[in-house]
Structure 1
C-alpha cells in the first residue's frame, strides 16, 4: 500500500523560479523525515514522483541518470532507500520515458549536429513530435533500438541502487510493444521489480497483457468514487466497482482517490465525504495508494493553467505534525485513515476479492467484499437523514462514527459511513 509523494512540491523546491532564489541542498531528506509517519499510517511503500534532473516540474527530464540538484544527489536517494527499507517500506520511482525536456543534451545535440536524432520521433514535416501539444516535451521514438537500450539502462541503474520498481509515466502514449521489449529485459536482471503504468484511458486488461506491466492506474474507479459522492449518484459507484471486479481476472489495479494531477479528494467531494471515499478505496480490490496530505484532509483544486497544479502539490512541513498539533478535521481524517488502513492490513485478501453491491440508491449503498470464508461490508450514507441499511450478514462494527448494528441492519447518521465485519 503506497504513500504517493510529488518530491519537488513536497520539499519546497523551486519549479519555475531559479534555484538561486530558493537555495537549499539535499531536500530529499525531508521525505526521509516522514517515513515513520508512513509506517504509522500502516502503509508499506512510497511512490515518488519525478526526482531526475529536469528543467521545471520534473516531467521535462534532462538526465535520467542524475538526481535533480534541487532535490539533492545520489547519496541522498541511497539514504532514503536505505531508511525506507529499514522500516519495511518499498520505494517506487517515476520513469518519464515517453518524452524528455527540450533542454535534454541529446535533443540539443540532435538539433545542432544530427547526432542522437534516432532517439526522437519526427513528424511528416521533419520536426520533432511533442507530447500532447506541450512544446517543451519532446517525444522519444519508441520504435528505436536506441530508446529501448536507454530505458533498460536507466531502469537497471536505479534498481541496482536499491529501488523496488517503476511507475511508467504517460504509459498510455507509448506503444505496448515497446514495454514488451523493455520490461522483460529488466526483469531478467531484477525479477522482483514491480512496474506500474500510468494509463488514463483504454483497455486496461489488454494493455497489461500486451505490455507485460504488473498493474495500471485505475482512473475509472477514481472517477466513479468521487463523481458518485459529489453528484449524489451512487449508481455510478456501483458501475465503477463492477468494472473494477472485471479487471481482477487479468491483474490487480493500482487504486487511489487522489494524486498529484487531480483535485484533492476533500475538495472534490467535501471534507465530510472524504472518509466515505477512503472507506471504498480500502475495502475493494486493488493495490491502494494515498496521496501525501490526503490523510490530513488537505484541500486544493487543480486548475487548467500554467501553475494550475501547484495547489495540489504543496510544500509540506520538514517533519510531520503530531495528532495534537492538527485541527479537528485534520486529526479526524488522520484517525480515519489509520483505522481503514489497519482494516486493510488485517484482511489482505481484500486485494483480490470481488465486491457485490447488496443495496443501492442515489444516496446510499451497501458493498460486500468477500471470499468463500470471509467478508467485509461497507455502507455509505450521503443523504442528510439517518438511514437503516442491510448489514449483509455482518456482526461487528470495525469503523465508522455513531453506527448502530442490530437485527441484521445498521443505522447510520446523516452523511455517515461504516465498515462491518464478522
Structure 2
C-alpha cells in the first residue's frame, strides 16, 4: 500500500488558515493557502497530507454540522476539489478526518430532535433519554462524547446512521478523490461499523487507507484485514520523548520490541502504525524535550523505527507550543513556511525512509542498548539497515556483530567503520547501510 512507503504531513486547517474559532457563517476562501505550501511540503519530503477536520462544524471541526460541505470559514467545495487536484498533480496523497463517533449541536438531525423530541424521524440517531436533561437545558438527556455535550454521540447501531455516513464517504471519494480517512476516536467506534466502512471504501477505490486514532490497549482489535489498515502509535509517541528526557533508551526499545520484535508476544509484526512526535492535541516536541540537542535525534528515531512517520505542520522548523497554553497555541497560523537546518535534516530523513525497503517493511531487532545509546537493525529481503542513536553529549564506542566492516551512513553520506569498534559522536544519529 502507498501509505506504508510515505511520509505524512498533518495540517489542522482551521488553525493553519487562521479561521475564527466560532463559525461566523461568512464564506472565506482560506483553504487555498495550503496550495502555497505545496513546494515546502515537497521540499521536506512529505508525499501525503492528513487534514484534520475540514467539514462544516460549530467550532473546532470535531462538532460536525454538514458532512458534505467544506467549512464555510475555509471556503466552498470547489476550493477543496481544486486543492486536492493540485496536491495529486504534485504527487501528494490526501487523507481527511472522518469524525463518525459524534456530531455538533448544529447538526440538522439533532436540531430536529431537540425541536420535535420523540416525534423526530431522527430520534433514534442518538442516545436520548426524555426523562433527563442536558447541560444545555434541552429538556432531554443525550449522550455526549466523554461527557462533552457539544459533541453529540451518534448511534452507530442504527442502520440509517451508518448508511448516512457511508453515503458521505462515497461523496468524498467521488467528489474530491481522497485517498484515505483518519478516523477520530476510533477506539470508540463499533466493530461492525468499521467492518462495513472497510468493505465500502475497498469497493470504491483501490488502496484506500483507513487509519484510526487509538490511544491504548491492543490496536489489533480494530487494526486488521477487516477493519483499519493502521492506527496512531500513541504508545511510542510517549516512549520517544520520554526516552530522551529521562535518558532511558530502554523505554522506547521495550515498546518497539513489544510491538515489532522477534518474540512470540510481538503485537504488530508486519503492520504499519502512524508514528509521530507531536500533533494537534499534544505539546510540540521542541517544547517537551528538555535538551534541544535531542530534537534532530528524535526525528531520526521516528524515521528509523517501524511505522509511517507523520510531521505536524510547523514542527519541522522547531516551532514551540505547550498544551497548557490551550489548543489555539497548538494550532496556529503561520504567514509562510520556514525551511531551516532542522527542516533540511528532516527532508534528508524523508528521502531515506521512502527509498529504503528495510525502513518501509523491515522487521525490528535491538542490537545495542544502554541508557543513552541504542542501535537497532531493520531487515527486509536480505537487506539490513542499522539505526544508531547517541543521546549523550560524549562520544560512545561499542562493538556489535555485523555482516560487514564498513557501512555508508545515509544521513551524512560518509563511510563508517564499525569494526573493531563503532564510534558514535555525541548527539548524533546514523542510518547505516
**TM-score (normalised: structure 1):** 0.90
Equivalent residue, structure 2, for 1:326: none
Equivalent residue, structure 1, for 2:356: 347
- The 5 Å alignment of 1:242-281 reads 242-245=257-260, 246-249=266-269, 251-269=271-289, 270-281=291-302
Q: Is the 8 A contact 1:404 1:412 kept in 2?
A: no
Shift of 1:308: 1.2
Moved more, 83-92 or 368-377: 368-377
Matched, 1:175 2:190: yes
**Residue from 93, 98, 102 that aligns with 1:99:** 102
**Residue from 248, 262, 287 that aligns with 2:308:** 287
What is the CA deviation profile of residues 176-204 of structure 1, one whole-angstrom value per residue up to 9, with x for unaligned ones?
22211232123222333211111111211
Partners of 1:345 and 1:210 lie apart in 2 by 24
Q: Is the 8 A contact 1:216 1:253 kept in 2?
A: yes
Q: 1:403 to 1:133 in 2, by over 3 A?
A: farther
Q: Is the 8 A contact 1:399 1:419 kept in 2?
A: yes
Shift of 1:130: 0.5
- The 5 Å alignment of 1:315-394 reads 315-317=333-335, 319-321=336-338, 323=339, 331-390=340-399, 393=402
Partners of 2:424 and 2:270 lie apart in 1 by 36
Secondary structure (helix, strand or coil) at the match of 2:141 reads coil
Q: Which runs of 4+ in 1 moved over 6 A?
A: 401-404
Q: Is the 8 A contact 1:390 1:408 kept in 2?
A: yes
**Stretches of structure 2 lacking an aligned partner (at least 5 in a row):** 1-6, 133-139, 261-265
Q: 1:47 to 1:392 in 2, by over 3 A?
A: farther
Equivalent residue, structure 1, for 2:178: 163
**Residue from 196, 209, 217 that aligns with 1:202:** 217
Secondary structure (helix, strand or coil) at the match of 2:298 reads helix
Q: 1:107 to 1:54 in 2, by over 3 A?
A: same
Shift of 1:363: 1.1
Aligned-CA RMSD value: 2.2
Partners of 2:226 and 2:153 lie apart in 1 by 19
Q: Is the 8 A contact 1:259 1:291 kept in 2?
A: yes
Partners of 1:189 and 1:370 lie apart in 2 by 34
Matched, 1:137 2:151: yes
Kindly tell me the number of residue pairs found equivalent between the two proteins. Answer: 406
Secondary structure (helix, strand or coil) at the match of 1:239 reads helix
**Stretches of structure 1 lacking an aligned partner (at least 5 in a row):** 324-330
Shift of 1:408: 4.5
Matched, 1:221 2:205: no
**TM-score (normalised: structure 2):** 0.88
Q: Is the 8 A contact 2:183 2:212 kept in 1?
A: yes
- The 5 Å alignment of 1:76-155 reads 76-114=79-117, 115=120, 116-122=122-128, 125=132, 127-155=141-169
**Residue from 388, 406, 412 that aligns with 2:424:** 412
Shift of 1:289: 1.1
Secondary structure (helix, strand or coil) at the match of 1:261 reads coil
What is the CA deviation profile of residues 277-315 of structure 1, one whole-angstrom value per residue up to 9, with x for unaligned ones?
111111122122111112111111112xxx711222111
